[in-house]
Structure 1
Amino acid sequence: MATADPHGAPHDVWLPIPPEEIDGLPTGLNYVHWDAGPEYPADPARCVFYAVPYMKDVETSLRPLARMSGLRVVQTLTAGVEHILPALDRLPPGTRLCNARGLHDASTAELALTLILAALRGIPGFVRAQDAGEWRHGFRPALADKSVLIVGYGSIGSAIEDRLTPFECARVTRLARTARETVRGPVHPLSALDALLPDADVVVLATPLTEDTRGLAGRDFLARMKDGALLVNIARGRIVDTDALLAEVASGRLLAALDVTDPEPLPAGHPLWRAPGVLITPHVGGPSSAFLPRAKRLLRDQLTLFAAGRPLRNTVAMAERNAEG
């Protein structure tokens, strides 16, 4: 761990993981551990690199930012940064906001595939039958020969396709904000969504939450999905219009598998809990045994670049002014 700067220049790094547990951190920086506890580990004004605590409430995670006058980097451990963006204009000009692109690919893609298979093969019904001691035999849909549409083809979307490949899908169609070519084939632009939806047996939402995607899966989107199709959301709850989805699943026309919901956490008694054909997991795409080793590597690699004065990866925004600017 670095010693204090005799000139008093800010050079603290706040980490949500104890620094002694992260191998290979660069020298020349002073590492302190803060995981959203009530007391700060050091003067926030001396912090230059703030790694946001993972899975803590937004208010607590944002609390020290107002006092971080020397801040240069905010590093999230999430792919989405919508919880940090509202504070960006209050940060010192030039502060970089970096996300955790790549960190959750394996874990989230695993869950996406789990949700698809569990929903299609009726696993929730079998679990309930087991609890009741009942043998409920019958045919269920397979993933084989199904057409899958991935809405949001970033690193997580690509990782989902990696895991779909052995399952003999009839077709995997990729869609993102802008069109491009990949080694697997074309990625269609978001403007093609209406034309692509009716052909998909499974629609996977893996897109970031932005003003363009908020409420994307609304009444018209859902109405264009084919009868019996499965909607899988491992992105953000507010991408789906909950009331519109409830109407479709209540009629039995669509199925849904949701790792995220709106509202979230889903309150007891909410109609989604008991809606027919809906499988819900409590936003567990990221938190798995795959998280910690990848989080440590991300922080080490980003701090190595930072200490060397080199451009950081995954910069998604930059503060242009502060509150007084």
Structure 2
Amino acid sequence: MPVPEPSAALFLMDPVHLPRLFPGPLLDRLAGSVRVPRRAGPLPAAADGVDPAEAELVITGWGCAPLTAGVLAGLPRVRTVLHAAGSVKAHVTEACWDRGLVVCSAAGANALPVAEYALAAILLCGKDALRMRGTYAAENRLPDPAATGRLGNLGRRVGIVGASRIGRRVIELLRPFDVEVSVYDPHLPRPEARGLGVRPLPLDELVATSEVLSLHAPLLPETRHLLDARRLALLPDGAAVVNTARGALVDTAALTRELESGRLSAVLDVTDPEPLPAGSPLYRLPNVLLTPHIAGALGNELRRLGLAVTEEVERLVAGEPLRHRVLPGDLDRIA
């Protein structure tokens, strides 16, 4: 069934994000396809001549209130929700599906910077950069060549947990490098894994054979603490964990114990809880790089999310199929 062509839209998000997602020229481009206000808010409200009762489209972002039946009652003509961010789980409710709304997400655009961050972390881990940094600072000398025999990315075994959008992008970015890539994803058919050029493995075998393990799975009830104490113990001595997905995929207490022992290293852009308590050892351990959830789109990368939404609006107006739809059945396997 074709998606109705919209003529008016509202922005539902924390207003601080609007100029970052849609800087002036991009907002002007969007306004060439659909009437939009120059203001945003977490809940529907009349703005710049656009009344919620006439809007056929809402463009959501971080800080959007959940689109409950009560909220949607004030948006009687809305048929499409375009999310200028990644996950839609925080604001798309059953009421949206009950009404038959078309939902799209800019998760694909957000995948690129996360994958770039993960690639950089994987390559740094291959050089054991975290430990070498600490040794350099403590001893103020270049490393003894005899102590660098295990360093380097030639033939490094990299394990990818989750063939998600981001996981697949990481696999793609790793292709120019001389690394051996394996993947675990229960939803990935073996022929498709071969098409990606990676070796599918059961999770325990993947963990036990990976020198760098990069997490790209969604957080679901069945994936919480996917890396528990038992699986962390399977990692080879000197292995590294890279987490740009969700902190709760890993048992933080178990990982902390492994890191405190010095057996593993980690690059963690997400943690559980987030942020960590001020006294967490992960802030000070020399074999840990801890960053404040910066892998996803931020700064000038946010325009990429706004552009993805703008292009979807242009497809709507042109009567073309949308490229980034999210279906109800997707929610059980996506972030």
**The structure with more helix, counted as a fraction of residues:** 2
Letter in 1 for 2:262: G
How far apart are the structure 2 equivalents of 1:133 and 1:27?
Answer: 61
Give structure 1 stretches of 5+ with no counterpart. Answer: 1-8, 320-325
Are residue 89 (structure 1) and residue 94 (structure 2) matched? yes
TM-score by length of 2: 0.76
- Give the Cα separation in 2 of the matches to 1:119 and 1:142: 9
State the 1:149 CA deviation. 0.9
Question: Shift in Å at residue 225 of structure 1?
Answer: 1.9
How far 1:147 sits from its partner (Å)? Answer: 0.6
For 1:41 and 1:31, locate their aligned partners in 2 and report how far apart those are by CA, in whole Å.
11
Flag the 1:126–1:227 CA change in 2: closer, same or farther, 3 A: closer
Q: Percent same amino acid at aligned positions? A: 32
Contact 1:179–1:187 at 8 Å: present in 2 too? no
1:74 matched to 2:81? The reply is yes
> Residues 205-254 of structure 1: CA distance to partner in whole angstroms, max 9, x if unpaired?
01222233222122232122222211111111121121121122122222
Q: 1:49–1:74: 8 Å Cα contact kept in structure 2?
A: yes
2:11 is paired with a residue whose SS is strand
Is the counterpart of residue 103 in structure 1 residue 106 in structure 2? no
Candidates 30, 37, 41, aligned match of 1:32: 37
The 1:175/1:297 distance shift into structure 2, 3 A limit, reads same
Q: Report the CA distance shift for 1:95/1:286 in structure 2 as closer, same or farther (over 3 A).
A: same
Aligned-CA RMSD value? 3.3
Residue in 1 aligned with 2:25? 21
Matches within 5 A, 1:224-235: 224-235=234-245
Distance of aligned partners of 1:159 and 1:40 in 2 relative to their CA distance in 1, 3 Å threshold: same
| 1:62 aligned residue | 65
Query: Relative to structure 1, is the Cα distance of residues 186 and 146 closer, same or farther in structure 2, using a 3 angstrom cutoff?
Result: closer
Cα pair 2:157 2:209 within 8 Å, conserved: yes
Q: Is 1:174 equivalent to 2:178 in the alignment?
A: no
**Contact 2:162–2:216 (Cα < 8 Å) also in 1:** yes
Matches within 5 A, 1:1-325: 11-14=8-11, 16=18, 17-18=21-22, 20-22=24-26, 24-25=29-30, 27=32, 29-36=34-41, 40=45, 42=47, 43-53=51-61, 56=62, 60-62=63-65, 66-68=70-72, 69-70=75-76, 71-84=78-91, 87-91=92-96, 93-124=99-130, 134-138=140-144, 139-140=147-148, 141-169=151-179, 171-180=180-189, 181=192, 182-185=194-197, 188=200, 192-288=202-298, 291-318=301-328
**What are the Cα deviations for residues 250-307 of structure 1, in whole angstroms up to 9, with x where unaligned?**
2222221111111112342223212452211111112356624422331122112323
1:30-64: CA deviation from partner (whole Å, max 9, x where unpaired)? 112345579956244444333223xx4xxx32167
Question: SS of the residue aligned with 1:197?
Answer: helix
For structure 2, the 5+ residue unaligned runs are 1-5, 13-17, 330-335
- Using the size of structure 1 for normalisation, the TM-score is 0.78
* Residues 84-143 of structure 1: CA deviation (Å, up to 9, x unaligned): 3xx512446112332223202332122112222334434446666787893353444222
User: What's 1:3 paired with?
Assistant: none
Measure how far apart 1:202 and its partner are: 0.9
Whole-angstrom distance in 1 between the partners of 2:79 and 2:43: 23
Q: Distance in 1 between matches of 2:233 and 2:140?
A: 36
Looking at structure 2, the residues matched to 33 and 133 of structure 1 have their Cα atoms a distance apart, in angstroms, of: 56
Aligned to 1:61, the other structure's residue is in SS state: coil
For residues 260 and 198 of structure 2, the distance between their equivalents in structure 1, rounded to whole angstroms, comes to: 35
Give the C-alpha shift of residue 203 in structure 1.
0.8
Of the structure 1 ranges 274-283 and 199-208, higher mean CA displacement relative to structure 2 is found in 274-283
Aligned AA (1:12): A
Amino acid at match of 1:188: P
Q: Secondary structure at the match of 2:213?
A: strand
Change (3 A) 1:289 1:178: same
Q: How many residues align?
A: 301
